[in-house]
Amino acid sequence: MKRFRIILLVLSLACVGLCLSCGKGNADGKTSARKPATVSLPDDYAMTQVELRLAQTGAPYLDINFAEKELWLKLKGAVVWSCPISLVDVNSDALQAFVKKFQGGERRYVRPVVEKHLFSSREKTPDSVLKIVGEVVKVDPGLLQREIPARFQLVWEDGLILEIRTDIKGNQKTSFRNTLINLSQTLQKPFGEVTLIISMTPEEAMTLYRISNPGFPTMIHPPL
């Protein structure tokens, strides 16, 4: 009977220990907490180093995290904006192609945005309202206006495109260059240009559109 009690006590202690160690693993904000076992050591090291460099700059950066299926804007390592990666065409193999192209032969984890194209958008507040507000606060109404993008693209070198769509009906930007860009992208598709199309809310798109100018650093966490 005594031996049985001792065994029971040892088993209980083991259970408590196991629970405590699981709890520690889920602590918030720790790098190691979400690291999947399948990421190789050199890859994990490269991603951590890249992020550390970006975080130390004190400027915001974009983390396309396919492992967590989220886009994150980060500042000094802290997530300041997040949005789920919602693919418009879930059956396409564009995601794999995008990651492969992003990493290239040298297994890169970071690239700067080199261009962005706005195809259609809507004004956040009517100009007539901003005119009145501008008079009250004594500011040029043009400074107060925000555009909500309906469709825009972020472009990286080597024909890598992330297209963002929202569910608002925007006014087409009928500029000559946008028409030519559409045509050029159609022509270049068979020659290795990769376009990944995702959707997000207008509010999320507005933040991403406004912050990601040419030179904006982007890092990637490949899918598991």
Partner 1 sequence: MIRTIIYSVLAVVVVAIAALLWYTRTPSEDDIKSNLPVRLDSLSQLSTNPKLAQKELKTAQKALDKLRPTTAYVVIDTHASKIYLRTRDSVLLKADCSTGTGGELIDSVTHRKWIFDTPRGVFKVNSKITQPWWRKPDWAFIEDGEKIPKSEKERLDPAMMGDYAIGFGNGYFIHGTIYERLLGVNVTHGCVRVGADDLDKLFKKIQMGTPIYIF
Binding of partner 1 at residue 15 (CB under 8 A)? no
Binding of partner 1 at residue 25 (CB under 8 A)? no
Give the shortest CB-132-to-partner 1 separation in angstroms.
11
Q: How far is residue 161's CA from residue 99's CA, in Å, rounded to a whole number?
A: 11
Binding of partner 1 at residue 174 (CB under 8 A)? no
Binding of partner 1 at residue 130 (CB under 8 A)? yes
Binding of partner 1 at residue 172 (CB under 8 A)? no
The answer to whether the Cα torsion of 44, 45, 46, 51 is positive or negative is: positive
Give the shortest CB-95-to-partner 1 separation in angstroms.
21
Of 10, 18, 59, 88, the one binding partner 1 (CB under 8 A) is 59
Binding of partner 1 at residue 41 (CB under 8 A)? yes
Give the shortest CB-21-to-partner 1 separation in angstroms.
17
Give the shortest CB-39-to-partner 1 separation in angstroms.
11
**Window 187-206: contact mask with partner 1 (x via CB under 8 A):** xx--------------x--x
Q: How far is residue 133's CA from residue 125's CA, in Å, rounded to a whole number?
A: 11
Binding of partner 1 at residue 14 (CB under 8 A)? no
Are the C-beta atoms of residues 118 and 173 closer than 8 Å to each other?
yes
Binding of partner 1 at residue 168 (CB under 8 A)? no
Size of the site for partner 1 (CB under 8 A): 67
- Specify the residue, 44 or 168, whose C-beta has the smaller distance to partner 1: 44
Q: How far is residue 31's CA from residue 25's CA, in Å, rounded to a whole number?
A: 10
Binding of partner 1 at residue 19 (CB under 8 A)? no
By C-alpha distance, which of 208, 209, 182, 224 is closest to 47?
A: 224
Query: Which residues sit at the interface with partner 1, rule CB under 8 A?
Result: 28-32, 41-42, 44-46, 48-60, 73, 75-81, 108, 110-112, 114-115, 125, 130, 133, 137-140, 143-144, 146, 155, 157, 159, 177, 180-181, 183-184, 187-188, 203, 206-207, 210-211, 213-217
